[in-house]
């Protein structure tokens, strides 16, 4: 019935992938969105909250809620930016930095498993095509 529906197929794929990433980040007490946000902060400490939201393709309020949760857990801290009280930079804490390698390993394991199921070239091609569609629709 919905074989040719982009919404139905991408939403179903997103739910399936969410289960994979939820399982990967569960040992760290993180949701999938929190895990990805923390990985982004660790990869580029001091990013503006607005830049994190853009990197992750989420709204600023959604990013703020994820940062709030990570801050409560002691994994990130915020600081104001010089001259602009509206902008906030997000920094990893020492505890987050200690988790960084484990988060990357968990993420790599999911990616390896998906590549094994789909095949390397199919995985790479699918990611590129989905990213292309996403960019075209922005």
Instruction: Assess if residue 105 is contained within a domain.
Output: yes
Assigned domain for 44 exists: yes
DSSP letter, residue 74: T
User: First-to-last CA distance in the chain?
Assistant: 27
Q: Where are the beta strands (DSSP E) in the chain?
A: 47-48, 76-81, 84-92
DSSP label of 28: G
Helix and strand element counts for the chain (H, E): 6, 3
How many domains would you assign to the chain? 1
Q: Which pLDDT value is given to residue 83?
A: 63
| Residues 50/60, Cβ–Cβ less than 8 Å | yes
41 within some domain: yes
At 113 the pLDDT is 96
Assigned domain for 1 exists: no
Interatomic CA distance for residues 120 and 111, integer angstroms: 10
Task: Write out the chain's pLDDT in tens, 138 residues.
Answer: 788 899 999 999 999 999 999 999 999 999 999 999 999 999 999 999 999 999 999 999 999 999 999 999 999 999 887 666 678 899 999 999 999 999 999 999 999 999 999 999 999 999 999 999 989 988
Residue 118: which domain range? 6-137
What DSSP character marks residue 4? T
CATH of the domain at 77: 1.10.10.10
pLDDT of residue 107: 95
Q: What is the pLDDT of residue 65?
A: 94
């Amino acid at each position: 019935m919905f074989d040719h529906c982009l919404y139905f197929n991408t939403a179903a794929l997103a739910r399936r992938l969410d289960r994979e990433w939820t399982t990967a980040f569960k040992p760290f007490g993180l949701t999938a969105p929190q895990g990805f946000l923390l990985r982004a902060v660790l990869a580029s400490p001091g990013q503006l909250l607005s830049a994190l939201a853009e990197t992750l393709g989420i709204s600023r309020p959604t990013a703020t809620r994820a940062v709030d949760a990570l801050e409560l857990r002691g994994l990130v801290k915020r600081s104001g930016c010089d001259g602009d009280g509206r902008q906030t930079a997000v920094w990893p804490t020492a505890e987050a930095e200690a988790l960084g390698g484990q988060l990357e390993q968990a993420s790599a394991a999911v990616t390896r498993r998906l590549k094994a199921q789909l095949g390397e070239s199919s995985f790479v091609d699918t990611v590129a095509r989905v990213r292309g569609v996403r960019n075209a629709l922005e």
